[in-house]
């Protein structure tokens, strides 16, 4: 029962309403807005250089419910999962308003740290197809009950979208009635770890880094 309560909390944490959600008391943003912005730009640039089509982007949000997940679950402290489109520099994600596609930087901005995981046993072509599968679900409603184990085939939650798009069950033979962002770590290789947004070294590197024009960033690959 405790696990179900925690998973329900995860659903609420991933609401698209952002500012309406209570803020975390465990993780904070840099006090300087300029530093905060610089970190987002640095991470977005680094991820764009490293990540490939179909990589999973796992994150820890600034929502209060993510604190509850951290305190009551084992494994990596993660609250969200999305899938990356390297060609468009976007992510496809399932949030409270449903499945949508947003710029990578928009995802990065709302998180305390970011982990990029490359799913195991997939070719480049298969990962690209997984992006296409995820995009085919844009507009699909968010599956609140699915996070409690009662899956609705016409709805989807965040880590379920990622697992489904990568055909995880078909490739691994593992039937996951519930799968959390942290559990996705077991099915891939970490290719990028951002560090925490408030780490002194992260903030220092972000501030000394020369900003890169958006058009130049979009052309890097």
DSSP type of residue 197: T
Give the model's confidence band at 216: pLDDT under 50 very low, under 70 low, under 90 confident, else very high: very low
- Across residues 20-31, what is the average pLDDT? 81
In whole angstroms, give the CA distance from residue 154 to residue 136.
Answer: 12
Beta-bridge mates of residue 57: 82, 116
Token pair in block for residue 54: 């179909």
pLDDT > 90: what percent of the chain?
Answer: 60
Name all domains of the chain by residue range, CATH numbers in brackets: 2-219 (3.90.1720.10)
Q: Which of 25-29, 118-122, 172-176 has the lowest mean pLDDT?
A: 172-176
In whole angstroms, give the CA distance from residue 147 to residue 163.
Answer: 13
In whole angstroms, give the CA distance from residue 6 to residue 101.
Answer: 26
- Across residues 163-174, what is the average pLDDT? 90
DSSP type of residue 144: T
- Across residues 51-56, what is the average pLDDT? 98
The radius of gyration of the chain from alpha carbons, rounded to an integer in Å, stands at 17
pLDDT in tens, 75-128: 678 989 999 999 999 999 999 899 999 999 999 999 999 999 999 999 999 999
Q: Which of 45-49, 69-73, 162-166, 206-210 has the lowest mean pLDDT?
A: 69-73
> Measuring CA to CA, which residue among 196, 200, 211 is closest to residue 38?
211
pLDDT in tens, 36-51: 999 999 999 999 999 9
Residue keyed to tokens 């998973």: 7
In whole angstroms, give the CA distance from residue 196 to residue 203.
Answer: 9
Residue keyed to tokens 């209060």: 64
């Amino acid at each position: 029962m405790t696990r179900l309560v925690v998973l329900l909390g995860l659903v609420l944490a991933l609401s698209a309403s952002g500012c309406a959600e209570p803020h975390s008391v465990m993780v904070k943003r840099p006090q300087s807005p300029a530093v905060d912005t610089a970190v987002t730009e640095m991470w977005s640039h680094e991820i764009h250089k490293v990540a490939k089509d179909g990589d999973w982007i796992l994150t820890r949000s600034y929502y209060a419910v993510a604190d509850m997940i951290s305190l009551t679950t084992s494994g990596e402290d993660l609250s969200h999962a999305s899938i990356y489109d390297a060609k468009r520099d976007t992510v496809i994600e399932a949030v409270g308003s449903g499945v949508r596609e947003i710029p990578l930087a928009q995802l990065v901005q709302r998180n305390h740290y970011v982990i990029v995981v490359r799913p195991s046993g997939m070719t480049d072509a298969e990962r690209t197809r997984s992006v296409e599968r995820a995009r085919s679900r844009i507009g699909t409603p968010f599956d609140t009950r699915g996070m409690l184990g009662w899956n609705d085939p016409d709805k989807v939650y965040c880590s379920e979208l990622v697992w489904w798009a990568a055909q995880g069950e078909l490739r691994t033979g593992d039937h996951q009635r519930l799968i959390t962002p942290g559990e996705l770590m077991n099915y891939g290789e970490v290719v990028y770890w951002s560090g925490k947004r408030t780490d002194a070294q992260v903030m220092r590197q972000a501030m000394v880094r020369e900003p890169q024009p958006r058009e130049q960033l979009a052309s890097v690959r």
